[in-house]
Amino acid sequence: MCSILGFFDLAGEPAAVRALALDRSRRLRHRGPDWSGVYSDAGCVLAHERLAIVDVAHGAQPLRSADRTLVLAVNGEIYNHAELRERLDYDFQTGSDCEVILALYATRGPEAAAAWLEELNGIFAFALWDAARGRALVARDPIGVVPLYWGRDRDGQRVVASEMKALHDLCSSFEPFPPGHVFDSGADGQAATAYYRPAWRDLSGANGADDPEHLRAVLDAAVRRQLMSDVPYGALVSGGLDSSIVAALAEGHRRLRVEAGGQEEAWWPRLHTFATGLEGSPDLAAARQVADVLGTVHHELVYTVQEGLDALRDVIWHIETYDVTTIRASTPMYLMARRIRAMGIKMVLSGEGADEIFGGYLYFHKAPNAAELHAETVRKLGDLHLYDCLRANKSMAAWGVEARVPFLDREVLEVAMSIDPRHKMTRQPGGEAPRMEKHILRKAFEGLLPDEILWRQKEQFSDGVGYRWIDSLRALAEEEVSDDRLERAEHRFPIHPPRTKEAYLYRRIFDELFPGEAAARTVPGGPSIACSSAAAVAWDADFAESADPSGRAVAGVHRDAW
């Protein structure tokens, strides 16, 4: 991952704004420790911190057009850049995958941005400055895999930044830039507009057949695309279904490349896999089994409860949320990322997104019908940039590691979300025995993994690292937060007041780091059961009483439910 920071509608002297941008960009340097770049003129300042993964020697940013009038700062990867390069009549200056954004703007124009953004297959957040027109274009990928915030500072200057910490004490108002949207300063209005409007958001667009072979082929192609790298890479393996599938497909492509005798794409001789957990955790044991089957170079990070507790404040600073599930899961991921970077790995593949697409969380067992299940998957994908995408991106980026997520590839989304949701239901008509969650995904990859992994029950990452982890967090909160303080929580935290002592603890730390109403509103609120949306809590009468983000809160489904 990289970071971007942009100032537009300059109110002060460009030199002073440039100095401010450099100062603020330093707060984001963990995302891009390899190089820093800045551009400034009378209308714009763009700063960039680079994590070099593609075209390491020549891809420094901000990127410039040949005539020097177009300037681009990007955080992300464009996986189909080679295909787009062949179609575009443009004078490319580098081998950077992100330069195709400049090419599309130059050849298609800003008015057609909604159309040409649809051609990009990748994860991205970018700010583009057209100096000749005095026009700015800002956009974010369809799901929001890459973070982006925007707001106005006290002088009315528009500010965009990869992370909130660069602008929270600078801007009087700010918010996450919406995924799948684009802002054009040359168009009427000051709001971002949607360019990503998939048919599957409506139930009428989800009527496709359950085709395991097609699903397998599409995900396999996505993994292959996302292996695009000029530096060593790895895969995160929790021992669960999703990450194991991604690692198995990546290893399969690596072997094919090596057997063909070609290393021109710098696909490394061995695939390294990484797992983390407390001593004796179920994830560590399952991940070890996956690595043995695949023959990867496997690394385990066994952390202690105390190490995790010691890191909490740093984790909240980096991930910028007070959401309970996100913090529970981010902490071991944050600790693991440091070890990954220490080993020289700068990019990892991960399994985020599968549970949202296929109804994999255990509360989906309670979905009353297919229509409700589909609506929930759409809701979950719409908010994913505030939860799992935020966790995976920022936990890894804290140590200069990029996380890629093949399940959220645009082509995978199109196929998987267009499947008739009746095929995703665990409850079956006619009184048949319930099927396992993500049944269609498991069937699609039969033979690729051992049955013990392929049919392992869904275990949320914060549970799988070891049940003692959540239990210890709850115990810490019990010590730190009194009953009286929790009862008065709504007075101290009127926006999304915490309902548990654990939530209160995280909220208190967040408020110390990011004070103010604008920061508090960047985090969603409402009840949740085992990672559900607030709407899905109504699926079961017991949910309202026992709501907790852990999968163990789903009584009668999780084998070790509370």
What does the pLDDT read at residue 53?
Answer: 77
Which position has the token pair 């049919």?
Answer: 455
**pLDDT in the model for residue 253:** 86
Give the alpha-carbon dihedral of 15, 7, 141, 513, to 10 degrees: 100
Can you give 208-269 as a three-state secondary structure string? ECCCHHHHHHHHHHHHHHHCCCCCCEEEECCCCHHHHHHHHHHHHHHHHHHHCCCCCCCCCC
Rounded CA separation 527/164 (Å): 24
Task: Quote the CA–CA distance of 411 and 402 in Å, as a whole number.
Answer: 21
Mapped onto helix, strand or coil, the DSSP state of residue 297 is strand
Active site residues: 2
Closest to 4 in 3D by CA, of 72, 77, 104: 72
Taking only the tens place, the pLDDT of each residue in 353-375 is: 999 999 999 889 899 999 999 99
Instruction: Tell me the C-alpha distance between 446 and 521, whole Å.
Output: 43
Q: What's the confidence (pLDDT) of residue 554?
A: 54
Judge residue 475's burial from the number of C-beta atoms within 10 Å of its C-beta, 0-12 exposed, 13-18 middle, 19 or more buried: middle
Give the residue ranges of the chain where pLDDT is below 50. 263-264, 266, 551, 558, 561-562
Tokens representing 208? Answer: 């496709």
Dump strand ranges (E) for 316-405.
347-349, 402-404
| pLDDT confidence of residue 267 | 56
Residue 200 confidence (pLDDT): 97
Can you tell me which residue has the tokens 């990452």?
A: 461
Per-residue tokens: 82: 């080679």
Residue 45 and residue 22 in contact, taking contact as beta carbons nearer than 8 Å: no
Residue 119 burial (C-beta neighbours within 10 Å; 0-12, 13-18, 19+): middle
pLDDT score of 561: 47
* Distance between CA atoms of residues 29 and 99, nearest Å: 22
How far is Cα 42 from Cα 25, in angstroms, rounded to an integer? Answer: 19
